[in-house]
Structure 1
Amino acid sequence: MGMMDGLLGMVFGSGGTALRETAEVFRENAEAGAAREASQRAAALAQFAQEFARAPVSRFDRLVDSLNRLPRPALAFGTLALLVSAMTSPEWFAARMTGLALVPEPLWWLLGAVVSFYFGARHQTKGQDFQRQLAAAFAQGSRLAVETAETAQTSPATRDGNAALDEWRSRLG
């Protein structure tokens, strides 16, 4: 009996850890992998929060932001005004369209490039602002989760007899 115990102990280790460690050479431990991935995501989002943190804006910044909001509504309302003017004053509209037909093609290309770059930059700026807000919300949520976990650990009075909730809280801490 002692010889079998010794042989099985050599193969499986005492407590079965040798077999598990050997299997982990060929296949990743899913629980440890998930924990590593979660910590990497949290670190990346914390880095984003620092990167996209915004300084307070000055009056000049607010003025420029206000001016940057004007072109899109102006283009939309201007197009509607042209449609209305075509219906109410066809002669005036025809004269304006004749003038536009005389604009050389390279100038149209230049206008298209300027408008494209303006709206492209605006799209990028709005996307970055959204990422900043998302990172700030994540950072705020992380702080709340840590505070909640600390509170749950320090005050046993918060336990309400819900076994699943108690287990979840113990995993947080």
Structure 2
Amino acid sequence: MLTVIAALAGLILGVRAEQRADREEKQAAELSQKAFAEQVDFYRTPSVVVVMNGNPHPAKMRLLLPSRHLWWDLRSLEPCKQIKIPTGSLRASLRNLFPSVQVTDEELSSLWLEFQDPEDRSWARTGGGALAASTWKPTSLGDMVDLRESWNKAPEVSPICGAS
């Protein structure tokens, strides 16, 4: 009887250890997938939106106003670079395409940054900094940003630059 109880206890402990190992492996895989996304960030001041790519790989990006279904295609931001986009430029590019559309400062404060990692996974970072998976897939249709803008000609070195 003691042998049966010991065998059962060993079996239970073995199953639990295997479940724990599976959980740890899954968490490690999730962290690995998020590593690229964690190195992409943006913030907004009253006059400028700063977008940073702290990765050694380019990242396809767009700024999005989810409530209005409006977006600005930033195309691909170089590795370890950042761009500073004046909010006036965002508004001007929008006015050029849609003269009747106006965006308020309050709406700009709810901007999101969507981007894609080298594995073609899409991510979104909200204005509050939260990171989540996204369903966006970059396309070449509807580009709303004039890439000849001065802010896009000379990206600066990003203050974040990690290794992936």
Q: Which has the higher strand share?
A: 2
- TM-score for both structures, normalised by structure 1: 0.28
- TM-score for both structures, normalised by structure 2: 0.29
Larger Rg belongs to: 1
